[in-house]
Amino acid sequence: MTSRLKRTSSLLVTGFLALSTGIAAHAADNVRVRGKIESFKGSTLVVKTREGDTATIKLKQGWKPSSLAKSSVDAIKPGDFVGVTSIPTADGKNGAVEVLIFPAAMKGTGEGSYAWDLQPNSTMTNATVAKAVKSVNGHSLTLTYKGGEKVISIADSTPIVTTAPATEADLKPGATVFVPSQKAADGSLTSGRVVVGKNGVEPPM
């Protein structure tokens, strides 16, 4: 591997470690901003959120942009570490809304299953794939994490992504972003990570 590729790999892992920290956070002062960029100048990012509000986010020193690339359910194998947003289905099971395949170096980061705000009643599960099964109705994953196990079905239409690089130049007005942020007592927002839509792949989480 060339030194340039090594640097790129290191930046991706470092960046998505920060993202996972945001994903795993439960505290009331941690918020997840989803929406489209209105402006980006210096260290200030302004986002029109999916709720219709405008969020102004101060990016911390050393912040990193990243993006995502399309993957497929066939790429998921036992031993992989994934982040899956799921919701209850009519049959009382769990159906995936989106799946993020983490780099091997991030295995165990943010491990667990907890409430998520992508959709009503959604849950985020960061866990190791114990079993991947294909059937006539699609696929299902058996996920294991400390203290628990969950079986989640995956429809063919479910977005499945993995990590990819990005630069500040990708933070253009109109681009879709996912920004795990921290909210101060005065209401101001800060973040060390921006996941931006690129090459037609928007952050599904």
**Residue 51 placed within a domain:** no
Domains contained in the chain, number: 1
DSSP string computed for 3-72:
HHHHHHHHHHHHHHHHHHHHHH--STTEEEEEEEEEEEETTEEEEEETTS-EEEEEEEEEEEEEEEEE--
**Residue 149 placed within a domain:** yes
Q: What is the pTM of this model?
A: 0.84
pLDDT in tens, the chain (205 residues): 554 444 444 445 445 545 554 554 444 488 999 999 999 999 999 999 999 999 999 999 999 999 999 999 999 999 999 999 999 998 888 999 999 999 888 899 889 999 999 999 999 999 999 999 987 678 999 999 999 999 999 999 999 999 999 999 999 999 999 999 999 999 999 999 999 999 999 999 9
Query: What range does the domain containing 121 cover?
Result: 69-162
